[in-house]
């Protein structure tokens, strides 16, 4: 039974990690147009989530954890908007380095991984109830 618990714990840890990744993606998409308020200030910088694999010494299984949330070092895009408060001397505004297409792809990947973990939990639960069913009959 404890092995089933480990299975569920590992899947749950992965789901938690994917949820945090999804939250970061939503922050990126929401801030896709967040420019600075004053000239010379930086706009919103895209965030990236990295995963790591940690060995749970209690159960001996390898769980998933979010390693770090790091800023994306990609350069900002320039957009010509002379009337904007954040425009520089030439009338260019620095836009966030968020590409909505990349974010949507990332979002799908997180969704699929989450779903895979839910399927594992479903299958494990079925196995547990089948084991309990052995008491019946």
Burial profile 77-93: b = 16 or more Cβ within 10 angstroms, e = fewer: eeeeeeebebbeeeebb
Instruction: Give the relative orientation of helices 2-30 and 100-133 as an angle to the nearest 10 degrees.
Output: 160
Comparing CB distances to other proteins, the nearer of 99 and 124 is 124
Of 39-47, 72-80, 89-97, 127-135: span binding other proteins (CB under 8 A): 127-135
Q: How far is CA 48 from the centre of its chain?
A: 8
State which of positions 58-117 bind other proteins (CB under 8 A): 61-64, 109-110, 112-113, 116-117
Rg of the chain over all Cα atoms, to the nearest angstrom: 22
Comparing CB distances to other proteins, the nearer of 8 and 29 is 8
Closest CA to 21 of 52, 63, 57: 52
Comparing CB distances to other proteins, the nearer of 31 and 61 is 61
Asked if 6 interacts with other proteins (CB under 8 A), we say yes
Min dist CB 110 to other proteins, Å, is: 8
Closest CA to 15 of 91, 116, 99, 94: 116
Residues that bind other proteins (CB under 8 A): 3-4, 6-8, 10-11, 13-14, 18, 21, 50-53, 61-64, 109-110, 112-113, 116-117, 119-120, 123-124, 126-127, 130-131, 133-134, 137
């Amino acid at each position: 039974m404890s092995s089933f618990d480990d299975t569920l714990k590992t899947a749950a840890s992965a789901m938690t990690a994917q949820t945090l990744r999804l939250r970061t993606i939503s922050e990126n998409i929401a801030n896709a147009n967040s420019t600075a308020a004053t000239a010379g200030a930086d706009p919103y910088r895209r965030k990236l989530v990295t995963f790591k694999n940690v060995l749970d010494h209690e159960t001996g299984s390898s769980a998933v954890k979010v390693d770090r949330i790091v800023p994306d070092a990609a350069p900002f895009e320039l957009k010509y908007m002379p009337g904007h408060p954040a425009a520089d001397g030439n009338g260019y505004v620095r836009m966030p380095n968020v590409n909505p297409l990349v974010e949507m792809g990332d979002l799908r990947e997180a969704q699929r991984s989450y779903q895979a973990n839910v399927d594992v939990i479903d299958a494990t639960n079925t196995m547990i109830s089948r084991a309990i069913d052995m008491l019946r009959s």
